Amino acid sequence: MDAFLAKTDPEMAGLIAAETKRRQEGLEMIPSENHTSPAVLEALASILNDKYAEGYPSKRYYGGNTVIDKVEKLAIDRAKKLFGVPHANVQPYSGSPANFAVYLAVCENGDVVMGQNLSDGGHLTHGAKVNASARFFRSVPYHVRQDGYLDMDEVRQLAKEHKPKLIWCGATAYSREIPFEEFGKIADETGAYLVADIAHIAGLVIGGAHKSPAPFVHIITTTTHKTLRGPRGAMIMVTEKGLQKDAELGQKIDKAVFPAGVQGGPHEHQVAAIGVALKEASAPAFKEYAGQIVKNAKALAKELMARGIKIVSDGTDNHLMVLDLTPHGKGLGIFLEEALDMAGITVNKNTVPQESSSPFYPSGVRLGTPAITTRGMKEEEMAQIGEYIAKVFNEIKGCKLPDEKEERIAYLKDSRKKLEENATIKEVRESVRLLCGRYPIP
């Protein structure tokens, strides 16, 4: 296929080649990213891309879907078996529309919903004030404690006070195990639907490296491209507990996805690639992989803390961690993100609990181990990477984010120029390149 693209559009082919080179020579450490297998990419780039298939297996609005029905049923069956659920929808384009479909299935406009506060590690679609979920529903956020762990006493108190229709558990920047059982008890006490958004930890759940939410929640949503190591897509699953609460919950979810909800025809090439990823995740080697992700994250967090870098909650139970840079000043996340990028280490700036700056210039950095674990790196390499990150961090500690907008723009421009010329960052870049040469991407 590469030969066809190079002949048809050499400019685009060149850009894809440049991105491939960037990834091969750098460490992808954004915890919501991974390296998919050639088999997943092959399914994603298949002829299935060309087919319209509105509806569901055996209930399509278009003809010619005999094979497509088998493709989607296979992906559904694999999802149900792996996650231990009676109902699965594999059509959502991504995590955000999947989550919005859940709202449409169980909530009415104006209902109270609860989710983890955004700057405390929650997700936009769980009721963040800048998101549509807070526009159409009344959002009551819960928070983490001073030590970085979820404040479950607050969750229970807010749920009893506000009687939410729906409670979200699961996060995008929370490094500790989600207490699904405790959330389940709170939902049962207050009559709420409980939804576990396991987008970040789905692969850990399948691999036995994180407790499964299936016995405790009514609905599970997940993306498929993070620790699950599949294509960019999503799934919605209904548990036995969910069907006990509402026997028609599965049908309501399906209808909320299509036709009454948030999207049109499914991307069946994406569905097929999800099916391939689920088959890969069912292999014994995937359990070892999931366990190694967590081992690597723990080893990296330990190394960073030993080198004087503060981490929210002082460690991790999963695949990620959030570096809290506030002891050295507010808004330093953007400086560390950009400096690490120059060093060949890709992370993302992130808010920290009780954030004193803005989401555009936050005081933290989020990073994780799924992609570097896919390349075969283990604890020894985590010690090296921790050293690299600490070296780069020491080069930006003296940065001070100005309060005034115009001063800030000029300061950032000047800082970038200095960082590009920084000898230590160049040295780390070469070390990263050498390390990556020993661990090729799939």
What are the catalytic residues?
Answer: 52, 54, 197, 223, 226, 232
Yes or no: say if 52 and 39 are a contact pair by the CB < 8 Å rule: no
Q: Give the gyration radius of the chain's Cα atoms.
A: 22
Looking only at Cα atoms, what is the longest distance across the chain? Answer: 64
d(CA 110, CA 114) in angstroms, rounded, equals: 13
- In one-letter notation, the amino acid at residue 329 is G
Place of tokens 């919005």: 100
Yes or no: say if 240 and 220 are a contact pair by the CB < 8 Å rule: no
Backbone φ and ψ of 347, nearest 5°: -135, 180
